[in-house]
Chains A and B, each alone.
Chain A
């Protein structure tokens, strides 16, 4: 078996279980990815992993695109595609099946009750997600203050495009870094 193929196979064997077992999303996935790629398989050094994490933070899209970068480090373009598909496809198929099954009961009384009952929990989970990111943010008090200001601005001024806010936030903190 050629080495390239072996690496791709290892990527599949690492990312498919991550995809299917990681309940709780991004944060728990990142910890597992670090362990696998730094400690177990040596695809990246700890320093490289931190750099890749910074790159994935700077890019748009899901934070878990870090998997693409790990695959790329391990085996180039083929590795990038393999890791991406291995991380996203299994969980996507599972959730697709669940969504179809769930949709089949649309219109029934209990379907409506479950949907209405889950809504306040979902709102709480969205808010908790914000708190979790705030907690791991390296920027400290300035980021906390800016996050609160951004929240108030977005709620008060519904015409405000979030991207404008992102540009302002990036520019202000960038300037602060210069200073």
Chain B
């Protein structure tokens, strides 16, 4: 089990500069994502990736994580794997992306196949279903906690907060299709960011 420490004594804010001075090795990327894969129960890879790669290791910043999430959701394919590709790419280019994805998927691949081999011997009674419900509840909790930690902060955050609320309302509550919602909200939100940048 790899030790989870931030890189040196540097601060989180300087993620890009840190990576240039201390490039993260491919083996470290592979090991970190392998560990992420085999421990990310409940199916929400993005929330686990935030916990392991951003909060514990400080390999990428909150801002990089969020832009990765946005891109991973509007592109086709599974969101968690898309986010893993981008994170690996950010850490160490094409080789980093490949190491991250192989690391993420190789453990679960063997585990699901092992479980289905053992399937006939497991008694899928109420206890197993109960355990799965408990894991699902914890996974939902981890997802909500991640989303709430990433809420817009700092001065002049009312505009961004309204954008987050609108996203939750349209996509989460009203279940409108995600892509058109994002395509409508993005120009508004980017305009707000530009206006804030000009005032700063």
Contacts and interface: CB of A to CB of B under 8 A. Distances in A.
Interface in A146-162: 146-151, 153-155, 162
Interface string A63-92: 111001100100001001000100110111
A87 B129 CA distance: 28
A40 interface: no
Given A133-B44, A154-B145, A173 B137 contact: yes
A52 interface: yes
A166 B42 contact: yes
Taking chain A's interface residues, is the majority helix, strand, or loop, or is none over half, making it mixed? helix
Contact of A147 (B63, B141, B192): B141
A134 to B, nearest CB: 5
A177 B126 contact: yes
A46 interface: no
Nearest to A117: B190
A13 interface: no
Contact of A62 (B45, B150, B196): B45
Given A61-B37, A62-B45, A96 B76 contact: no
Contacts of A100: 89
Q: Which 3 A-B pairs have the closest CB atoms?
A: A91-B77, A150-B141, A61-B108
Interface of A: 19-26, 29, 51-52, 54-65, 68-69, 72, 77, 80, 84, 87-88, 90-92, 94-96, 98-100, 102-103, 106, 109-110, 112-134, 137-139, 142-143, 146-151, 153-155, 162-163, 165-166, 168-178
18 contacts: A55-B116, A60-B37, A62-B78, A62-B81, A62-B104, A68-B113, A91-B77, A96-B86, A99-B86, A114-B190, A116-B63, A127-B168, A127-B172, A129-B46, A138-B133, A153-B141, A155-B148, A170-B132
